[in-house]
A and B are shown apart, each in its own frame.
Chain A
Amino acid sequence: GAGVSQTPSNKVTEKGKYVELRCDPISGHTALYWYRQSLGQGPEFLIYFQGTGAADDSGLPNDRFFAVRPEGSVSTLKIQRTERGDSAVYLCASSLLAGTNGYTFGSGTRLTVV
C-alpha cells in the first residue's frame, strides 16, 4: 500500500480483556516495528521483525504482550489481560531494510483500558 496502515484507530476495552492491534506495512518493506507512546513521551520500542521472525523483542514489557508476523507482511500485536497502564498510542513503522533506510510510521492505535 501507499503507507503504513493501522487498525483500529481507536480501541476502548475493559480491564482484563484481550485485544489485537493490526499493522499493514508498506508493500515490500521487510522490517516492521512496534512502539508504544504515552502522553508527553517519545515512542518506546517494543519489538521489531525482520521478515517473519522477531529479531528483537526486548522492549515487550511483560509476557502479556506478544506480536506475530506470520507471512512477513501484516503484523498483529496482542495484549492479554489488559491493564489500565497499557493505555497508550501503539505505533507501527516499516522500513525497506532494518537500519539502513528511514522509517515510515502509521497513524497509530489509541488504546484505552477502562
Chain B
Amino acid sequence: KQEVTQIPAALSVPEGENLVLNCSFTDSAIYNLQWFRQDPGKGLTSLLLIQSSQREQTSGRLNASLDKSSGRSTLYIAASQPGDSATYLCAVHNNDMRFGAGTRLTVKP
C-alpha cells in the first residue's frame, strides 16, 4: 500500500524567503505526482503535475522535482509572499491517488 509522507508538517517563514517542501512515497511505480494547495475551508487547487518520466515542472515561482527511484519530490517556492500561506499537499498516482498529510505554510509579512 502506498504511503506518502510530507515534511515538515508546519513551516513559518518571513516574507521573501525561498523554501522547500518535501514529499516521500514508498511505492515508486507511479504514473505521476501532483502538488496541490488548500486554503482553510476550501477545496484543492492543483499547482503542478509531474509525469513519471519527467524530472521537474515549473510554474511561476514554483518548481517541483521528482526522483521516482528514490521516492521523493520537492516543491520549491521562491520569494515567498503572505498570499502563499496555505496547506500544500503532495499526491502520488497509481490507479488512484494517495495524499500526504500536508505541510501548513505561514508566510509572515
Q: Do A and B come from one complex?
A: yes
- Interface presence of A16 (CB below 8 A): no
* A33 → chain B closest CB, angstroms: 6
Contact A103 B99 (CB under 8 A): no
Residues of B within 8 A of A55 (CB): 95
Q: Give every chain B residue within 8 A of A91 (Cβ-Cβ).
A: 43-44
Q: Which residue of B lies closest to A44 (CB)?
A: B99
Q: Contact between A105 and B44 (Cβ–Cβ < 8 Å)?
A: yes
> Roughly how many angstroms separate A42 CA and B44 CA in the complex, as a whole number?
11
B43–A106 contact, CB under 8 A? yes
A interface bracket (residues with beta carbon within 8 Å of B): 20 to 34
Residues of A within 8 A of B94 (CB): 99
Within 8 A of A (CB), among B48-69: 49
CA distance A104 to B49 in the complex (A): 11
> With A100-B31, A102-B46 as given contacts, are A45 and B98 in contact (CB-CB < 8 Å)?
yes
Contact residues of B between 40 and 97, Cβ < 8 Å to A:
42-46, 49, 89, 91, 93-97
Chain A contacts with B in 19-59, Cβ cutoff 8 A: 33, 35, 40-45, 48, 55-56, 59
Chain A residues with CB under 8 A of B93:
99, 103
Chain B residues engaging chain A, CB cutoff 8 angstroms? 4, 6, 31-32, 34, 36, 42-46, 49, 89, 91, 93-102
- Can you sample 28 A-B contacts with CB below 8 Å? A33-B96, A33-B97, A35-B99, A42-B6, A42-B89, A43-B44, A43-B89, A43-B91, A44-B99, A45-B96, A45-B97, A48-B95, A48-B96, A55-B95, A56-B95, A59-B96, A91-B43, A91-B44, A93-B44, A99-B94, A99-B95, A102-B34, A103-B34, A103-B46, A103-B97, A106-B43, A107-B43, A108-B43
